[in-house]
Amino acid sequence: MLRPVDDLVHRFRGSVHAWPDRIALSGGDESFTYAALDRWSDALAQRLRTQGVRPGERVILRMEPGVDAAAAVLAVLKCGAAYVPVDVRHPVSRREFIVRDCEARALVGSWGEAELPSQVEVVVGRPDVVAARTAHAEAPRPPKGPGPEDTAYVIYTSGTTGVPKGVPVKHRHVQALLDGAAQVFRFTEQDRWLLFHSIAFDFSVWEMWGAWGNGAELVVPPQWAARSPERILELIRSRGISVLNQTPTAFATLAEAAARVDADLPDLRYVVFGGEKLSPPSLRAWAKRYGLERPRLVNGYGITETTVFTTFHEVTEEDLAGDVSVIGEPLPGFVARVMTEDGREAEPGEIGELWLAGPQVAEGYLNRPELTEQKFPLVSDGPAGTPVRHYRSGDLVSRSPNGGLVYDGRADLQVKLRGYRMELSDIETAVRRHESVLDAVVTVQEFKPGDLRLVCAYTVREDAPAAPAPVLRRHIKEWLPAYMHPARYLALGEMPRTVNGKVDRAAIARICKEEIARAWAS
């Protein structure tokens, strides 16, 4: 067990000291021990400082997934700077906005074919990153590294307005996550973690530091494998992956492939879900094949603004028999409030918005003071209470009789049609109950001016019989009142996803809108 430290660089060096010869990072046929990765990232940090990167600055990180990107994250942190990840698939307009908004003047990686913004003065390309592997002799460590109050990274999330919001997360926030998770999980230096997600998605923070904070190995999959569930399964088996992190959407495809090939995954100890609502019935086939003991299935809830995860719940047989998404108890130090629309604490079983306070809550959005004031209010306990920063999640939850939290959906997915208020996720859950349906997304579409109706896009399991609209209409009548029945069903070959692996609701809404327009035109 490593002693508590204040920042991520010292946490990493604690693993270097404890396990210098253990593998810290691997990908393809390359692997690096903790000592080697420490030297490599030291040398790259020295290169960045020589080029002019200063403590407290923000550094754009845009690289193809691989061991080089992981090493670059460490190097930026060792400079006392914060990394701002930009996915290589992001459009130029989003990239340019992020550079302007975070006022970055340094870039690690490549900007692509587009013209580099003029404010970027320092560019350290991938060849420089690779060259630093053998340049450790010239890289003395600086006298001072980052502290707990320094920003470790800024990740941009997409808001309802369509304008990305930068969330600065400090070293102490990530430290609190890792320390809290240590009381829930039994991670060890023997584990192998898969870096499944883009570094622009904060799930990657959990993957990197879950491994490095425990002296474990971080395995980077080849890009071609990440696009194939069969190849990912083979990688999990052949590399002995023991900790896998997935969005429910991505795992549904992986689980279906595992059933199809009857994959043997003896080393897998944990599957941790995050990023989306988990529908427990979707896990029944997996649990029938693998059970719930090894691997353990853990539903995590969290938001970028609260540093990846804030609650965890281990999936049980009781969960599989029902259809509610239990997200469990907050991590140590967190306060979870369930607030009604009229500003009072909800009663057990009553739905309200989840407000969170604790050591992982960020201090606000970058350059968005009004939105920060709205989403990060200061709340006092009683007349003489000290104001405490909370984060208003926009997620609807309720408390079960035993005090655990149950996820009920997004407040912004509530709609009102013909006088009826409804939760779109309730309709999606009902459609998914059909044995042939893999996933479902419901949107509201305008059929004629003023005529708003529900449209359900869905995908079918590969090994299941077809589920045409008449079949689903009969099925939905068993579960929902008429006012919640979709007017149209649209079968898709696959669900569009964002670069973070989540269901792309905006893309699905566009597909549904185009389909309705074609139907009316004909």
pLDDT value of residue 521: 78
Q: Which two tokens stand for residue 493?
A: 């070959």
Report yes or no on 48 lying in a domain. yes
Nearest to 43 by CA among 144, 122, 145, 132: 132
- CATH code for position 479: 3.30.300.30
Report yes or no on 42 lying in a domain. yes
Distance CA 255, CA 283 (A): 8
- What is the mean predicted confidence (pLDDT) over 55-70? 95
- CATH code for position 81: 3.40.50.12780
Exposure of 469 by Cβ count < 10 A (0-12 exposed, 13-18 middle, 19+ buried)?
A: middle
**pLDDT tens profile 147-187:** 999 999 999 987 655 578 999 999 999 999 999 999 999 99
Report yes or no on 228 lying in a domain. no
Q: Are 194 and 221 in contact (CB under 8 A)?
A: yes
pTM for the model stands at 0.85
Report yes or no on 454 lying in a domain. yes
Half-sphere exposure of 85 (CA within 13 A, CB side): 27
- Banded pLDDT at 1 (limits 50, 70, 90): very low
**pLDDT tens profile 321-355:** 988 899 999 998 899 999 998 888 999 999 999 99
**pLDDT tens profile 270-282:** 999 998 888 888 8
Question: Beta-carbon neighbour count of residue 464 at 10 Å?
Answer: 13
Report yes or no on 277 lying in a domain. no
* Distance, C-alpha 30 to centroid of its chain: 26
pLDDT value of residue 161: 55
**pLDDT tens profile 12-52:** 999 999 999 999 999 999 999 999 999 999 999 999 999 99
Residue-range definition of the domain harbouring residue 512: 415-521
- What is the mean predicted confidence (pLDDT) over 292-318? 95
Exposure of 7 by Cβ count < 10 A (0-12 exposed, 13-18 middle, 19+ buried)?
A: buried
Considering the chain, what percentage of its residues have pLDDT values greater than 90? Answer: 67
Domain boundary among 150, 165, 180: 165
- What is the mean predicted confidence (pLDDT) over 492-497? 91
Report yes or no on 159 lying in a domain. yes
pLDDT of 140 strictly over 80: no
Report yes or no on 477 lying in a domain. yes
Domain boundary among 165, 199, 215: 165
Phi/psi of residue 454, nearest 5 degrees: -90, 135
Q: Are 233 and 263 in contact (CB under 8 A)?
A: yes
The count of structural domains within the chain is: 2
Report yes or no on 470 lying in a domain. yes
pLDDT value of residue 419: 67
Distance CA 112, CA 473 (A): 48
Domain boundary among 165, 192, 210: 165
**pLDDT tens profile 424-466:** 888 998 899 898 999 999 999 988 766 788 999 999 988 888 8
Q: Report the mean per-residue pLDDT for the chain.
A: 90
Distance CA 505, CA 139 (A): 47
Choose the weakest-confidence range: 131-145, 174-188, 190-204, 287-301: 131-145
- Banded pLDDT at 228 (limits 50, 70, 90): confident
Phi/psi of residue 284, nearest 5 degrees: -60, -45
